[in-house]
Amino acid sequence: MFVRWKHLNVLGDDAVLKVNEVNKQLKHVSDVFSDILAERGLLESEIFPTNEYISVACYHTYDCLYDMMKEVWSKISPEDLAKQSKTLLSEIHALSITYLWLYYSLGRMGIVFGKHESDPAKEPEEKRNQWKWMLEQWHTLGTNYFNSGAPTVASSGAKNLAFDEKTIGWLQDNLIEVNPDQVKKIRRSMGQTELYAFMDECEARAKLIDHGPYSVGSNEILVATEFTRLHDGKGDLWLPWSDTEATFPSDKLGIAMTIKDVAATFNDIGTMMIEPGDYSGHVTGVTIYANRGDKVVPLGLDELEAYSAAAEAALAELYIKFAEWDKKKLMIAGAVAYWRGYARYTDRVGITGKYDWEISQAVIDEYVPFFMENDADPAFIRFGRFDDEMEEDPTLYLLPEGI
């Protein structure tokens, strides 16, 4: 089903991939996106104009991502980045890999729909070649990251597996036996940290990822939830508004659990679904871990309380701050948060400081006035069409063949 693409050692607009090979992948990721959308629906928030800021961010991504990723991939190959990222608390994971196709393709969808009369043949050839090249890099990264050798979680059987046996062994070696009441307390702490993580990212899940399920025994699995870019008061701010008085003991945190007699599935935005939903009585052990400098160290159960306390206090600060902003400021902030996600790549090669992480004035001038008056992009009518329509014309436009 999946085409194996040879990684090119060229950087430029002369991508040589056959269009039909690219389109197979575009059909696949269109299905991945449609499934995620069916699970979640269009995003809503009591504070942020979510659909509006996603659209603005995607148009900016369509304009700017190629040049940035061209420089990233000139400094590290997708294969090497994938191998280096199959570790605990890495920020290159299923969700950030999804960033590489999702935001750009949604921006492209809006441009083709609105400016090219829904005809991808009218998209400039330069942009088509850039997209082909970026898709190749994404595919190479994904197939080297996931243990399945497939490019997505969906094509890996709804499993998000990247850790090796040594990593799983370390998590098992540091398991703490817990009872159901302790598990419920841990899950409450995780939930509090998740609420903060969502708010700091303008109600997006960019700070957290779920991994698994790893089989570790008879009817027993291991899953892990990891948080990154928590505000610890050290180093540069992640986002302009992240500077809360409340700080976390570290900027990364992981919680792994071994669970018996449950079913767990995952998707490409790193979300875990476990049945039964109240699985506290099925948990057999927990490993809590965090970064200490360049090392990952295990934590005691009592150390988790400091994270949830920081999360609760920081969440309150952020809520008060955002509640004072108008729609335009909230919209641009959300778009900045989405765009900033690519710093997870530039950080790995030391070029983050070279880039402007604001939304371009050209994009603001062109799109923000429209979204001040409208809550959805006209191109969104491509979501939720009938299956037979999407078979020939997927949500994310195919590249034209024969030109």
Cβ 93 vs Cβ 209: under 8 Å: yes
Nearest-CA neighbor of 130 among 243, 217, 250, 22? 22
The position carrying tokens 């969502």 is 198
* Residue 327 one-letter amino acid: K
3-state class of 256 per DSSP? strand
Nearest-CA neighbor of 352 among 71, 60, 133, 80? 71
pLDDT 10s digits, 91-130? 999 999 999 999 999 999 999 999 999 999 999 999 999 9
The position carrying tokens 């919680």 is 255
Cis peptide bond upstream of 124, omega within 30: no
Cα(75)–Cα(352) distance, rounded to whole angstroms? 13
Long-range CB contacts (within 8 A, 24+) of 120-123: 120/397, 120/398, 120/399, 120/400, 121/400, 121/403
Residuewise pLDDT in 10s, the chain (403 residues):
333 333 333 333 444 568 888 999 999 999 999 888 877 655 566 899 999 999 999 999 999 999 999 999 999 999 999 999 999 999 999 999 999 999 999 999 999 999 999 999 999 999 999 999 999 999 999 999 999 999 999 999 999 999 999 999 999 999 999 999 999 999 999 999 999 999 999 999 999 999 999 999 999 999 999 999 999 999 899 999 999 999 999 999 999 999 999 999 999 998 999 999 999 999 999 999 999 988 999 999 999 999 999 999 999 999 999 999 999 999 999 999 999 999 999 999 999 999 999 999 999 999 999 999 999 999 999 998 888 888 889 999 999 987 6
Phi, psi of 200 (to 5 degrees): -65, -30
Q: Judge if pTM exceeds 0.75.
A: yes
Cβ 399 vs Cβ 128: under 8 Å: yes
Cα(90)–Cα(127) distance, rounded to whole angstroms? 31
3-state class of 169 per DSSP? helix
Query: Residue ranges per domain, the chain?
Result: 19-157+326-392, 165-323
